[in-house]
Structure 1
């Protein structure tokens, strides 16, 4: 990269992209220019049609150009995803990404944009991340991608951030690589971003924070449950692994979560099942097996009890 020329970012705005990750990616670049007193970065917004892109909150963002732009080796393309990202995986958009990659551009994504990179084959054999809500569906759809649950991942000329404010951490990382930690720290100060996260930090809140209870044994059992959704562990084995009796485990869950371990485990498995139904093309039986249910009928019964609808209706297929 020519040190005297601004580094260019091309933001590909997909239909119904999420505003927060996009804003959190572009603002650090503006602030890096302001803090340094130089134009270190410039950017352009592209998308299908070249007119405007509509984000998930209804706001319309004017685009600079369409997908006919030519690649450059010293630029970074960031795909900004959001809702219904699979619908954006059309031939012109995938062709654009592949052309930019062949031209030597660094390719990245924020929020669900990683789905499009994977669909284009640009993440095969690479490390990547995606928003935790989309993690399970992505893992099932793209087994060749080495998927992580970290805030962002930088693997060679591929960069991905999970969504939300994680874009800030990714951009601070890139700014630090380009121009040093002091400038990145100045930008973080301007953003009031007091806790800069690295690629080692995980996306989600810790289990104690999520459930509102700080109990080491309870958190350990829940972690075991979350790690074993496809092949559920019996309450007796969960209790034994945590160094307590089954009765003690029952009391622990009743006291702090007002439900049995079995009920909590079932809700967790059904939550994963719902994500897979909404985000993948897996069959109902495949979703059932992936979430520890031995038969579609049992899965459908449990799903209806939890959500008031069957898996088939969630898919819009009709019938029970």
Structure 2
């Protein structure tokens, strides 16, 4: 007896099997990888035939270990693939170290042959490092955006959940891979099949490339106050050249004293303190994710002098910027810092 899924299977055009090559970098993120490969499996099951095939590739061709220490047996090394294949680079923790010379050479070679190349989670870093995203729109996990912007000025970085710019695809990580693959399935075999796959995954809200990866500011801080959200948005957009509390207050039509009371009431801190924490959070990301000098990090985060930066950094993180980079330099992507969040209502 056919399964319920096969009974409800939509009509799928009779086309050939499309193959995906998942390039698993060392310490890749399992969730982003699983969210990409499972829609393909389910599409095959629903359609009742192999619409998609996939292989796992990696340097050395033997095994790849993801960030949670699970190991995967690889099907191939950095071998030549078919031009019709789609390569998805699966990145994760410490992607800088995992992006080796051999990986870069392989990506560049396949790009010259016209292969579609994508980056899942921090996989966009490998594509950018290979020079394959220059002049393209792309995205990467929000924690890695600060360092990415500083290192790859030629890339038009967005905060979208995923981006498909011609034959370059990138996702922000996590479940955003699922949104990308549902878009691919819809383009290949129709919206009905993509929606059926989403239903099988209990995925009720399919996002598009117009959706941003982070929660809205009110949701993130747990406060629904339009003027507070507006001020925080201005703070996040002016890290290198900070605005004064008076300027912020004037731009939202209130006095500096009213702004102070607003922050105290909802966030239990002053506007100045909240702004400082945002700047220090970005500074920590840059220290962990880039090779920028401490002086340049300080300037990029609105500090006029390294000594003032070091003093503020030590007061907040109980260590100096120099020691931070020295102690964590072996794994920069593992220690990104989150922006300040709500303390109390």
* TM-score after normalising by structure 2: 0.90
- Could you say which residue in structure 2 is the equivalent of 1:25? 36
> How far has the Cα of 1:3 moved from its partner?
6.1
- Could you say which residue in structure 1 is the equivalent of 2:3? none
- Any residues of structure 2 matched to 1:85-124 within 5 Å, and which? 85-124=95-134
- Any residues of structure 2 matched to 1:81-230 within 5 Å, and which? 81-230=91-240
* Equivalent pairs, count: 316
- Could you say which residue in structure 1 is the equivalent of 2:17? 6
> How far has the Cα of 1:317 moved from its partner?
7.5
- Asked whether the equivalents of residues 25 and 99 of structure 2 are also in contact (C-alpha less than 8 Å), the reply is no
> How far has the Cα of 1:89 moved from its partner?
2.1
Distance in 1 separating the partners of 2:215 and 2:69 = 28
- Any residues of structure 2 matched to 1:240-319 within 5 Å, and which? 240-316=250-326
Query: Alpha carbon RMSD of aligned pairs, Å?
Result: 1.3
Deviates more, 1:306-315 or 1:2-11: 2-11
Structure 1 unmatched ranges of 5 or more? none
Distance in 2 separating the partners of 1:101 and 1:141 = 21
Distance in 1 separating the partners of 2:267 and 2:152 = 35
Distance in 2 separating the partners of 1:149 and 1:172 = 19
Structure ranking higher on relative contact order (CA contacts 8 Å, 6+ apart): 2
Structure 2 unmatched ranges of 5 or more? 1-12, 329-345
- Asked whether the equivalents of residues 12 and 78 of structure 1 are also in contact (C-alpha less than 8 Å), the reply is yes
- Pick closer, same or farther for the CA change 1:4–1:178 going to 2, 3 Å: closer
Distance in 2 separating the partners of 1:317 and 1:298 = 21
State the 4+ residue runs in structure 1 displaced beyond 6 angstroms: none
- Asked whether the equivalents of residues 72 and 103 of structure 1 are also in contact (C-alpha less than 8 Å), the reply is no
* TM-score after normalising by structure 1: 0.97
- Asked whether the equivalents of residues 208 and 219 of structure 1 are also in contact (C-alpha less than 8 Å), the reply is yes
Distance in 1 separating the partners of 2:224 and 2:169 = 34
> How far has the Cα of 1:73 moved from its partner?
2.2
Distance in 1 separating the partners of 2:202 and 2:296 = 45
